[in-house]
Structure 1
Amino acid sequence: MAQTPTTFEVDGTAICTRRMNAGMDVQQLADQVGITDSYLRKLERGDRTRMTPGPYQALRAALNADENELLRAPHPNPPERK
Structure 2
Amino acid sequence: MAKKEKGKTSIIVFQDWCKGCGICVEFCPGKVLELDRTSGKALVVHPEECINCGFCELHCPDFAIMLAPKERENPMAAELNCNGGDQ
Q: Larger C-alpha radius of gyration, 1 or 2?
A: 1
* TM-score of the superposed pair, with normalisation by structure 1: 0.41
* TM-score of the superposed pair, with normalisation by structure 2: 0.39
By percentage of residues, which structure has more helix? 1
By percentage of residues, which structure has more strand? 2
